Structure 1
Amino acid sequence: MQQLNSAFLMKLGWPLGTEPNALWARVMRFKYCKGKDLEAVANCQQSASNAWHGLMDVFELTKNGMGHAVGDVRQTKFLVHKWVDGTVLLNHATKEVPANHKERLVCDYWNAEKGWDWDQPAEFLQSEYLQRIASFELIQEEVGDNLTWIANKLGNFSIKTALGIVRGDDTIEPNLNINFD
């Protein structure tokens, strides 16, 4: 029952990141985040409600199922967001990544006329990941990046896949083709 409760709490918290204009998300973010990033307040609300504490208890599990669907790539961080294969590229670096690269966006490595700028990422990423990145052709239209649920192929949150994450189920197939051209 505790695992199922965690999965339902993940469902309740999912709109905080994916539907920021939904009433529930606006109320919770206003009350507890006060304009700060959700991660910045995840552990600092001692006098918060039981609902908020529950959401923050499963926050890391929820993040495990989150990924970025790239649109115009102006919001997705190249190395620290999950946008290629359901993992963080920084975890696959072959050597220490310079600090100034950790905050760079995907669009910082893309040139509309030439395509990918391979010089910089090739210094610290395995060729396998460079090939995966090469399969993405980025669009320059104003189509924003979105959070997506990478624990299933459709990108939609489900209790079944959330429960799989809570249980550490290895049979969940991540959505590896998160590119909304």
Structure 2
Amino acid sequence: MRTIGVFDSGVGGVSVLKEVLRKFPADNIIYFGDSLHAPYGEKEIDEIRSLCLKVSDFLVYEKKVDALVIACNTATGAAMDTMQKRYGIPVVGVVENGAAEGVKYTHNKNIGVIATPATIKMDLYKKSIAKIDSSIKTYSVKCPLFVGMIEKGWEDTLENDELIKSYLNEFSVEIDTLILGCTH
């Protein structure tokens, strides 16, 4: 029986955790939500990497996990390569799967990405999508105000609808696929 560590910059990774539990029902799963340092999405890349390494060191060296799943887009971009080199275990993130799904569903080859400022700054989805299909154009919008909206507990309100519409109106072309990269 393996032990798989799943971590996120908060509690948003619970959706990833559910999928890990579904795919690996016989394994031990440890979930670490770093709410103390959330949100990661507005921090500098070096600080995010440092936070990720503290969490992953704990999971690898203290909890003895056999694999790590980074359930955070921002953390995937900031630290996955470093973590893959640092530990002798599988380390996977969430960006490649999101990019692959976006590529699968686009018809006009214009994909929109809404995410944290850090995720957009690293061009994570643009790079991942280009590896799959270089003819696809990726357009990104930073959504820093999603943090407050999500932290207050998602509610279907006029104010939230207007915030979402304001971000979506920033796309200068017609996209037919939208990737919600991350909120924190």
TM-score by length of 2: 0.29
**Structure of greater Rg:** 1
TM-score by length of 1: 0.29
Which has the bigger relative contact order, CA under 8 A and spacing at least 6? 1
Higher strand share: 2
